[in-house]
Amino acid sequence: MDWLNYHHLLYFWTVSREGTIARASEKLHLGQPAISTQLKQLEQSLGQKLFQKAGRNLELTETGRMVYRYADEIFSLGREMVDSVKGRPTGKPVRFVVGIVDVLPKLIAKRLLEPALQLPDPLKLVCIEDSLERLLSELALHNVDIVLSDTPVTGAMRIRAFNHLLGESSIAVFGTKELSRKYGNGFPASLNGAPFLLQGRASAVRRSLETWFDSHDLHPMIRAEFDDSALLKVFGQAGEGLFAAPFVMRDEICRLHEVELVGEIPGVREQFYAISAERRLKHPAVLAISSTAREDLFAK
């Protein structure tokens, strides 16, 4: 078994938090050469570089970021243990880390996560937004508890993970009052030549929309593409074009972004998944998300 020197890990953790060996030296009341030597010994024992130079500061490598997350959890648990032994209240909520695929609509993500925050036991929600591929890598390393996505894991991704369908929604087109009045009549044929804002190419709904446009011989004027769904809606609110979003969120979209429903697109649907490292969902927060999504949000 490989043994970990926790003094070395503490010095690494402190340097990571402080940004430089000089500041860590002041914090630890140790000389800089001693800290540098022990950081090198930790890197040698792990067989990986943990830092790289970034001007006058030190920047964590990818491996360094992973080690830092473990170290942060280790020393947080250590403080909690001391508090518990000495009879001091810890008040520490359960940490729940959720990976959110960057193309997932933000309003959907919010509605999905709300039940987790309403559990009787305190919970600390940590949201990480990234591509599906990177989030699945974090899931495999157990750095996230669950991944919320608009596409399922496929065999081509070569990662052992399990899909749990939370629900689906039809897609609707929204626009400002002016655009709604101009293009609402004769929908969906009225989309021909209409200014339109599209999701980025990584989005599942983008591919479905393009297929639907082609099958109905519709040629909207694509004014912009956005990987960030929230930014897309900001431009839509400014009247830069029509945009598509889940029909199930129509009331909130119209209220928050001051737009109107132009029309529902028949036959185009968006699905939403919770992706886990285990076949069965066990985490109480994930179970709350799943049951509420199926029984409430997507029930209709």
pLDDT in tens, 131-147: 999 999 899 888 899 99
Average pLDDT, integer, range 198-223: 93
Q: Which residue has the tokens 């030190």?
A: 58
The residues, ordered by sequence, that sit 6+ positions from 50 with a Cβ below 8 Å of its Cβ are 12, 39, 42, 43, 60, 61, 63, 64, 67
Domain definitions of the chain by residue range: 6-85, 94-167+272-297, 169-269
pLDDT higher than threshold 80 for residue 89 = no
Tens of pLDDT, residue by residue over 241-298, are 999 999 999 999 999 999 999 999 988 999 999 999 888 888 888 999 999 999 888 8
Per DSSP, helices labelled H in the chain are 6-18, 21-28, 32-46, 62-85, 106-117, 132-140, 177-183, 204-215, 229-237, 250-257, 284-292
CATH architecture of 169-269: 3-Layer(aba) Sandwich (3.40)
Q: How far apart are CA 300 and CA 293, in angstroms?
A: 11
- pTM for this entry: 0.67
In angstroms, how far is the first alpha carbon of the chain from the final one?
54
Q: How confident is the model at residue 93 (pLDDT cuts 50, 70, 90)?
A: confident
Tens of pLDDT, residue by residue over 28-75, are 888 989 999 999 999 999 999 998 887 777 888 999 889 999 998 888
263 within 8 A of 245, measured Cβ to Cβ = no
**What is 6-85's CATH topology?**
Arc Repressor Mutant, subunit A (1.10.10)
The CA-based angle 115-247-266, given to 5 degrees, is 140
CATH superfamily name and code, 94-167+272-297: Periplasmic binding protein-like II (3.40.190.10)
Q: What is the pLDDT of residue 120?
A: 86
Tokens representing 217 are 């011989």
Cβ burial of 299 (10 Å; 0-12, 13-18, 19+) is exposed
Q: What is the pLDDT of residue 75?
A: 86
Q: Note whether 94-167+272-297 and 169-269 share their fold.
A: yes
Strand bridging mode 195-199 / 162-175: unpaired
